[in-house]
Amino acid sequence: MRVHLLCPGDPTQRTGGYLYDARLVQGLRDRGHEVLVHPDLPEALPDGVVLADGLLWTALGERGARLAAERPVAVLLHSPLWREAGPHARIPEEQALRRAALVIATSARTAADLDVASVIVEPGTDPAPPARGSGTGRLLCVATVTPRKGHDVLLEAVRRLRVPHELRCAGSLERDTGWVAGLPEVPGVRWLGELDGPALARELDAADVVVHAARYEGWGMALAEALVRGLPVVSTPAGLFDGRDPGCRLEVPPDDPGALASALERVLGSPELRATLRERALGVPLPTWPEQVAAIEALLRGCDGSGTRRTGRSPGPPARR
């Protein structure tokens, strides 16, 4: 099978959507398929299945409409664009997605955020040894530094902590430099920038607690990596946790630095609570990348231009919404 992936920007970016795309490309190639990656819609597109990243698909406008009229297109929806751009962008986004023969959402939360039928294929995970920690109260936040990720709330919460701690933030500082420049300086905080896979694995291994303060999180791939390693997690709501053991993390509401500070103090101050969270995290079943690549492979084979839109969750029996 030949697959044309339409994916804007630098495909090596270390964000959840780009990491998902990269793992899918490699996984399909490992399974013997030809995958061609295009940063935009080429004027001439050879035969093959077209899979468009939602970031690019909505922006294509009439070009996308013409393509969808000529051949079936599957769209990968990582996060609703209107959550970043504002409610005014919701209707155009839904209109663009309805042109696709198939929409693959990467979480049930993302799927429910748009009035478009979709199939859910969550991100996969890789096996990893349990984190060893540092024993110093090291907090780790893994998130691109943008308003949606809530670093302003996190910094205020950390400023209020009355227990020993340090905070390390891994994630690009280049997506919204104006926002970054306006963040306050807080003692004990280190900005690591965007890390490659091995560097991030080292940070996760040395962390004592993973913290996430996003205002909206469709899934949370870094949170999944934390659970795989048995790391205690303090987080605002995220799609990863929907339908999974509520005891695997401490959840706090968005935009509430007081609640976040209180939860962090509870975890940092209690070895017993950290041990409980560790045990529950390690017990959370999560899909693997080979499973999820196989699920998308099957969906792409079935994207035959019939226009049938399916809803469900993969792996496992479809769950309609």
User: Same domain for 272 and 162?
Assistant: yes
- Does residue 133 fall inside a structural domain? no
Nearest to 219 by CA among 42, 29, 16: 16
Q: Which residues on neighbouring strands pair with residue 76, listed in sequence order?
A: 53, 104
- What is the span of the domain harbouring residue 92? 2-124+288-314
pLDDT at residue 305 above 80? no
The model's pLDDT over 208-218, given as tens digits with 9 standing for 90+, comes to 999 999 999 99
Q: How confident is the model at residue 311 (pLDDT cuts 50, 70, 90)?
A: very low
User: Same domain for 219 and 296?
Assistant: no
Q: What is the pLDDT of residue 119?
A: 96
User: Same domain for 154 and 240?
Assistant: yes
User: Same domain for 87 and 116?
Assistant: yes
User: Same domain for 213 and 297?
Assistant: no
User: Same domain for 153 and 261?
Assistant: yes
- Does residue 321 fall inside a structural domain? no
Greater confidence, 46 or 265?
265
pLDDT at residue 245 above 90? yes
306 vs 72: CA distance, rounded Å:
8
CATH of the domain at 71: 3.40.50.2000
The model's pLDDT over 90-126, given as tens digits with 9 standing for 90+, comes to 999 999 999 999 999 999 999 998 999 999 999 999 9
Coil/strand/helix, residue 263: helix
- Does residue 132 fall inside a structural domain? no
Q: What is the mean pLDDT of the chain?
A: 91
User: Same domain for 274 and 299?
Assistant: no
User: Same domain for 85 and 154?
Assistant: no
Is residue 230 classed exposed, middle or buried when 0-12, 13-18 and 19+ CB atoms within 10 A define those classes? buried
Q: How confident is the model at residue 83 (pLDDT cuts 50, 70, 90)?
A: confident
- Does residue 271 fall inside a structural domain? yes
Q: Which of 3-7, 16-20, 65-69, 121-125 has the lowest mean pLDDT?
A: 16-20
Q: What is the pLDDT of residue 304?
A: 53
- Does residue 109 fall inside a structural domain? yes
Instruction: Report which listed range, 62-66, 91-95, 289-293, is most confident.
Output: 289-293
Instruction: Count CB neighbours of 45 within 10 A.
Output: 15
Q: Name the token pair of 38.
A: 């295009």
Cβ-contact 320, 311 below 8 angstroms: yes
User: Same domain for 255 and 236?
Assistant: yes
Range 168-181 average pLDDT = 96
Is residue 89 classed exposed, middle or buried when 0-12, 13-18 and 19+ CB atoms within 10 A define those classes? middle
Count how many domains the chain has: 2
Strand 312-314 to 119-121 pairing: parallel
97 vs 122: CA distance, rounded Å:
18
User: Same domain for 115 and 147?
Assistant: no
Quote the pTM value: 0.90
User: Same domain for 110 and 166?
Assistant: no
User: Same domain for 298 and 254?
Assistant: no
